[in-house]
Structure 1
């Protein structure tokens, strides 16, 4: 017997039916829900089970199971339902937003994204949407037709409620505030293309991102940008790229600490993704340093072409990251990344690539590499050194929590959340935690008839009665 899901978690109220795919031999099977508040029904062809739950009017979380039996084969589907509002925290999926994708402001005041609907002429309309986590109030603007703004991805939101969303029609982005006023971020003088903001400081004084100075055919490069009170400047570039070569693509600033003091970015050269950081001094910001410079090793190895001739290739053992913008702790003390090892520094021989979660302390300038979980990556880290790790390299759905101070495993993401907030969440990983720990943003894999998707969720304090 194969079931598409053997554990499912429901909110305390307002749940949609949940569909589980079934493959069983023999095809006939029986189902038995374990509680009166739970209902499970087979489809006429037996290929799915639809699970529904009543609202949870009790003061606590509850759980039961559904027994599925086909001949001698049997399975148990665990069903967990949260209380309507936990006294410590609220858990919510971001299903309000298109594709379930949302961004959280640095101090956890707002989450934002957009909602897509179909207009009367069958064209898409997109409405920027902001939820105030303190009050539960939802603000929606527009909706805007694609012919005006073709909104594609929310990138950042400040604690003042200024939301940045990519514009696939005009290039660059729009920024929209809590009154519905739209602002178009400007590039520095001399840039030919509109820029994109990737992240902001909590107070909105600093925005960071990137722009391209001129066409690639004319030798244009991505340039890391810093906006101070809305005024853009270029951040300095390193002399060479991650592999100590001349730049061909450039550098993108990806994230900034909530206090605005530390900025990190990537050397966006092919698949190198070398991670670097700046100490933000505004117009006087100095050249960046490589994240994990204490463990960085550069060496030349021999590679062989198809015709049998050899050539030199530069390998790097160092810290990398991709297009993620929440990998710095709120004060900038820690930066999360992935340590990639490409060669043996003693033999100068290329090896099969190894990747481990890694965390760099900008104060001590020392790196902690976590090899306990095998292939893994650092996703986020708190100021006090609690690290959040994703397993594997791509398409991950499981997260681990690790104490960098003691070198100990603190369990899966769901275990840690349960201990800290007293609630049970689906399997997933954490992407951001506000400095005071009251707001959390994470990702879980969800299964539906449309397939497997990644959906954001958040934890926020309970609303005041």
Structure 2
């Protein structure tokens, strides 16, 4: 079953403001074996009517009237079919488009992860597992957390706990391995917990350090983990079969000055050959990468160093008049899925800087994609202010429109310089299913697994989702 994000229909009269708000306005069902779909309904006036579509779809109100339950019959027609259900409240109405595939259309499954915390989840490098956690609060305002690991091949769900916040105050699911080991940040005690498919928990450590490290991402075989630790400055770390070592740092920071905050390793290609990270000094967040040949790690290079430019200027701010290095270069924040599975491509954002007429630094940002084999950068100008989100080994790029709180995505072919439309249309064309608008954050090397995020039905946050092959 596949969903499209919520919309509202509204009409203002002299007496009241009529509206219909639905948690989904389009959905798709498999040809058979479907479970009912619940759609949240909020209307003014509160009473609403349902105009049914074709007889193969049943639309019924819940006892509380705030939920619409859609149930579909198996599709024996041999062809895809669709219908429209209309919800009317006063003079306002909204349509729900319902699509059903044929029995033999088993290209892919779409699943929302709306039981996960608002901080979202993670997909393993090959797509075999997704992981996250749910959270509950009791009558005493005590929070409890339940780690969740889902096998995307079988649909089996592993849940552990719940654990009270006094033990683990889970705050963000960072990474999960293809072996089912899930890393979640612990806001109570610092560092992370790592939990496996049996529920066994351990605390990742970095020998020789006092503070606790954080693991950001892993290779597909689980041999390599990357992350960071705060030891004075932030230090980028690489674990090789459990043995940790610091990754080499550049001689100077993003602005060609002495480091004062450090570098964090953020992601690694599924094959373990390319690691990337970011400096974290105010808003500099310069993106850099390392090549890992299995026995040694090369010195880091700035992503996009072929188009990187430094311009010394004199600026005047709260510190008075002083020298400053403007940088036209590639940046990255905390994203962990910027590199393609083989490490051939890195998705990034190319930021140009200049001193504005008001004396402040002005930025122009464009999505960019760095080829680690040719060591050249492709800057995409087609979408204005935008961000490189992810990229496949064959050069299909996923671009987020905007630079913060991104809700819309585009697909772009780096080989031909061609716009391939928005991400939802691209998925419909290539996978034959409807998904919410939103952004794709990761695609497995074989293209069968996709991880993404969309604005949730209430508009107050994001829900993760995944696409996977039919259940085995």
Band of TM-score, shorter chain? 0.7 to 0.9
How far does the alpha carbon of each residue in 1:168-225 deviate from its partner, in whole angstroms, 9 at most, with x for none?
1221111112222212111141x22100000000011000000011xxxxxx100000
Q: Which stretch has the larger CA shift, 163-172 or 374-383?
A: 163-172
Counterpart secondary structure, 2:266: strand
**Conservation of the 8 A alpha-carbon contact between 1:315 and 1:350:** no
Structure 1 pair 38–356 and aligned structure 2 pair: CA distance change class (3 A): farther
**Conservation of the 8 A alpha-carbon contact between 2:28 and 2:433:** no
How far does the alpha carbon of each residue in 1:15-42 deviate from its partner, in whole angstroms, 9 at most, with x for none?
5532355579xx9997644445253879
Separation in 1, partners of 2:325, 2:73:
59
Counterpart secondary structure, 1:255: strand
**Conservation of the 8 A alpha-carbon contact between 2:173 and 2:184:** yes
Counterpart secondary structure, 1:431: strand
Q: Which residue pairs with 1:333 in the alignment? A: 344
Say yes or no: does 1:275 pair with 2:292: no
Q: Which residue pairs with 2:316 in the alignment? A: 304
Q: 453, 465, 469: which is aligned to 1:443?
A: 453
**Conservation of the 8 A alpha-carbon contact between 1:174 and 1:183:** yes
Structure 1 pair 176–32 and aligned structure 2 pair: CA distance change class (3 A): same
> Following superposition of structure 1 onto structure 2, how do residues 197-208 of structure 1 map, counting pairs within 5 Å?
197-208=215-226
Structure 1 pair 74–98 and aligned structure 2 pair: CA distance change class (3 A): closer
Say yes or no: does 1:294 pair with 2:306: yes
Structure 2 alignment gaps of length 5 or more: 1-9, 11-18
Separation in 2, partners of 1:146, 1:126:
7
Q: 17, 38, 46: which is aligned to 2:38?
A: 17
Separation in 2, partners of 1:266, 1:400:
24
Q: Which residue pairs with 2:16 in the alignment? A: none
Say yes or no: does 1:110 pair with 2:129: yes
Separation in 2, partners of 1:100, 1:343:
34
Q: Which residue pairs with 1:458 in the alignment? A: 466
**Conservation of the 8 A alpha-carbon contact between 1:258 and 1:331:** yes
Q: Which residue pairs with 2:329 in the alignment? A: 318
Structure 1 pair 30–240 and aligned structure 2 pair: CA distance change class (3 A): same
Counterpart secondary structure, 1:452: coil
Q: Which stretch has the larger CA shift, 280-289 or 204-213?
A: 280-289
Structure 1 alignment gaps of length 5 or more: 214-219
Separation in 1, partners of 2:117, 2:237:
28
Separation in 1, partners of 2:162, 2:86:
45
Q: Which residue pairs with 1:175 in the alignment? A: 194
What's the offset of the Cα at 1:360? 0.2
Structure 1 pair 42–117 and aligned structure 2 pair: CA distance change class (3 A): closer
Q: Which residue pairs with 2:367 in the alignment? A: 357
Separation in 2, partners of 1:57, 1:354:
52
Structure 1-normalised TM-score?
0.87
What's the offset of the Cα at 1:56? 5.0
Counterpart secondary structure, 2:426: helix
Structure 1 pair 74–264 and aligned structure 2 pair: CA distance change class (3 A): same
Structure 2-normalised TM-score?
0.86
